[in-house]
Amino acid sequence: MTTNDFAYNPLDDIDQIIVDEETIKKRLKELGEEINRTYEGRDLAVIAIINGAIIFVADLIRELRIPIQLDCVRISSYRDEAKPVQTPEVIDKIRLDLKGIDVLVIDDILDSGSTLARVTEMFKAMQPASLKTCVLLDKNTTRSVPFEADFVGFRIPDEFVVGYGLDFAERYRQLPCIGVLRPELQNPPEWS
């Protein structure tokens, strides 16, 4: 059996690719180098905001040549559709003690800014030595909270995107690229 024998291919649901697989891979190497240079000679705690950041973080940390500790925080800012809930909720907290250490918080995408604003405020209270943020995507939109990330993979237009960890109703995270869904799939009746 080859992969061609499977009827389902999530790529068939994509209308337009915004960032392709090769471009992501190349940019991740550059981002990794930026992070390596920034934290040279230091120890770093990497905190992934899951589920969205899992693919990005898994690939990015393999470009790092500094000692790291990894932990995850689970935040709910979107329910099962492309509509934000007002205040992001922390569903699962980290286990690491961040006091006195360098912390890099990683998310898939910076959109309204409310998720990263909420999470960084929470971690600052743990008194880390430093706190920076890294996002794969920075959406060109009006933020509801002013927020800029320290490390950015790509700046993208104001569209709802899926793939490479980003979901629509928990689907499409497995796509190797980032793209916009076909319009008829953006709000299928069975998910609303």
Q: Does 163 bind ligand IMP (CB under 6 A)?
A: no
Q: Which is nearer to ligand IMP, 21 or 84 (CB)?
A: 84
Amino acid at 66: I
Under rule CB under 6 A, residue 112 binds ligand IMP: yes
The upper half-sphere exposure of residue 38, i.e. CA atoms within 13 Å in the direction of its Cβ, equals: 18
- Number of residues that this document lists for the chain: 192
Q: Which positions ≥6 away from 112 have C-beta within 8 Å?
A: 84, 141, 143, 144, 145
Q: Which is nearer to ligand IMP, 43 or 148 (CB)?
A: 148
Residue 164 exposure: Cα atoms within 13 Å on the Cβ side? 28
Distance CA 146, CA 114 (A): 9
Shortest Å, Cβ 48 to Mg ion: 13
Contacts to ligand IMP from residues 115-134, by CB under 6 A: 115
Quick one: which of 32, 52, 113, 179 contacts Mg ion (CB under 5 A)? Answer: 52
Find the binder of ligand IMP among 50, 57, 166, 177 (CB under 6 A). Answer: 166
CA-based R_g, the chain, Å? 17
Q: Which is nearer to ligand IMP, 101 or 161 (CB)?
A: 161
Q: Which residue has the tokens 């120890």?
A: 43
Structure tokens at 27: 């940019």
Look up 111 and say whether it is catalytic.
Answer: yes
- The SS3 call for residue 147 is coil
Instruction: Please list every residue from 34 through 63 that binds ligand IMP, using CB under 6 A.
Output: 49, 52
Picked from Mg ion, ligand IMP, none, the partner binding residue 160 (CB below 5 to 8 A depending on kind) is ligand IMP
Applying CB under 5 A, the residues found at the interface with Mg ion are: 52, 78, 167
Active site residues: 111
Residues making contact with ligand IMP (CB under 6 A): 49, 52, 77-78, 84, 88, 107-115, 160-162, 166-167
